[in-house]
Amino acid sequence: MSPAVMIAQDSPRRMSAGLAIDAVSHAFGPEPVLSGLSVTLPAAQVGCLIGPSGCGKSTLLAMIGGLLRPDQGRVAHPFARPAFVFQDPCLLPWRDARGNIAFGLNALPMSRTECSARADRLLGTVGLTAEDGEKYPRELSGGMRQRVALARALAIEPDLLLLDEPFSALDVGLRRQMQALVRRLIDARGLTTVLVTHDLAEAVRMADRIVVLSPRPAHVAAQHDIGMPRAARDDGFVQAEVGRLLADPATAEALAVEGLS
């Protein structure tokens, strides 16, 4: 591993600095997945990664969270407590919903009563009842599982939230509801967030910065900032903005591949 590779934990003085991904390349075996990819995201902003299936979005997210070291390049951020919502909810089948939500709290110095109180609170936050809290993952619907996974991530009060297509198992109504919920939570806590999605409309609804990745091996095909405050983005705005983004040839090309494959 080259000495240039490191997950930097910057000093608190530079807390206003955000996420910096600098010329990251990675390969699984001979086939490169990421090639010289650079992205930055200011703190307290939401970045959306969008790109064709298999281009390396989940891989990049794992690097940001420190689960994977890039072969080359550098991922740096000042955040001490990242939290994941994985593409697959990844719940412990042998713990009920409440136990799963509290799982991450094992890493924190907290008493049992504090843990369960917080788990109870988060059940409510993601719209689950106390009864749902007693259920095991296989007794929950796909959408409920996804919400448990979200609650588990929020429970540790992260400073960096990494969401890998967290709404993909939800029906349209619930998806909109959860998007609104996550948006509110992010805004209320000023959480720096990276959200992976397949859905350009979702990206426009949620993001401050949209990063469009090319097909594998991924590099940044296009990048768009959205200035409008999240709360003010109504359906009309979202539609118009999606149209505007797709008018950009680089964006359209990167995303069109998805339609073909």
Partner 1 sequence: MIPLRTRLAQALDYVWGGWGAAASLLLLVALWEAGHEAYGTLVLPSPRETFAMLWRMTLDGRVWPAVVETGRNALAGFLGGVLVGGLLGALAGLSDMMRRLLAPVSTLMLGIPAIAWVVLSLLWFGGSGLAVVFTVLVTSAPVVFASAAEGVRSLDGALQRMARAFRVPRRVLVWDVYLPHMLSYLFPAVATALALSWKVAVMTELLSGAGGIGDGLATARVQVDTVKAMAWILVVVALLLAVEYLLLEPLRRHVLGWRRELPGAETRDPQGI
Question: Which residue number, 64 or 128, has a Cβ lying nearer to partner 1?
Answer: 64
Near Mg ion by CB under 5 A: residue from 58, 100, 179, 251: 58
* Helical residues (DSSP H) of 126-197, grouped into ranges: 130-133, 142-155, 172-189
Backbone angles phi, psi at 208, to 5 degrees: -90, -35
Sheet strand arrangement including 7-9:
7-9, 72-77, 19-28, 31-41
160-164/192-197 β-pairing? parallel
Q: Is 214 in the site for ligand ATP (CB under 6 A)?
A: no
Rounded Cα–Cα distance for residues 213 and 250 (Å): 10
Rounded Cα–Cα distance for residues 222 and 220 (Å): 6
**Among the candidate windows 94-102, 177-185, 187-195, 242-250, which touches partner 1 by CB under 8 A?**
94-102
Rounded Cα–Cα distance for residues 84 and 242 (Å): 27
Out of ligand ATP, Mg ion, partner 1, none, which partner does residue 32 contact, by CB within 5 to 8 A per kind?
Answer: none
Q: Is 65 in the site for partner 1 (CB under 8 A)?
A: yes
Site for ligand ATP in 12-41 (CB under 6 A): 28, 33
Q: Is 103 in the site for partner 1 (CB under 8 A)?
A: yes
Q: How far is the CB of 244 from partner 1 (least distance, A)?
A: 36
Q: Among 36, 8, 3, 35, which Cα is nearest to 22's?
A: 36
Cβ atoms of residues 101 and 152 within 8 Å: yes
Q: Is 117 in the site for partner 1 (CB under 8 A)?
A: no
Site for partner 1 in 8-37 (CB under 8 A): none
Cβ atoms of residues 181 and 124 within 8 Å: no
Out of partner 1, ligand ATP, Mg ion, none, which partner does residue 28 contact, by CB within 5 to 8 A per kind?
Answer: ligand ATP
Out of ligand ATP, Mg ion, partner 1, none, which partner does residue 83 contact, by CB within 5 to 8 A per kind?
Answer: partner 1
Q: How far is the CB of 55 from Mg ion (least distance, A)?
A: 9
Question: Which residue number, 97 or 221, has a Cβ lying nearer to partner 1?
Answer: 97
91 Cβ contact list (under 8 Å, min separation 6): 97, 100, 137, 145, 148, 149, 152
Near partner 1 by CB under 8 A: residue from 86, 145, 159, 161: 86
Out of partner 1, ligand ATP, Mg ion, none, which partner does residue 143 contact, by CB within 5 to 8 A per kind?
Answer: none
Q: Is 87 in the site for ligand ATP (CB under 6 A)?
A: yes
Q: SS3 breakdown of the chain: % helix, strand, coil, rounded to 5?
A: 40, 25, 35
Rounded Cα–Cα distance for residues 103 and 113 (Å): 14
Q: Is 100 in the site for Mg ion (CB under 5 A)?
A: no
Number of residues that bind partner 1 (CB under 8 A): 22
Rounded Cα–Cα distance for residues 156 and 96 (Å): 18
- The binding site for ligand ATP (CB under 6 A) comprises 28, 33, 53-59, 87, 216
- The binding site for partner 1 (CB under 8 A) comprises 65, 67, 82-84, 86, 88, 90, 92-96, 103-104, 106-107, 136, 138-139, 152, 156
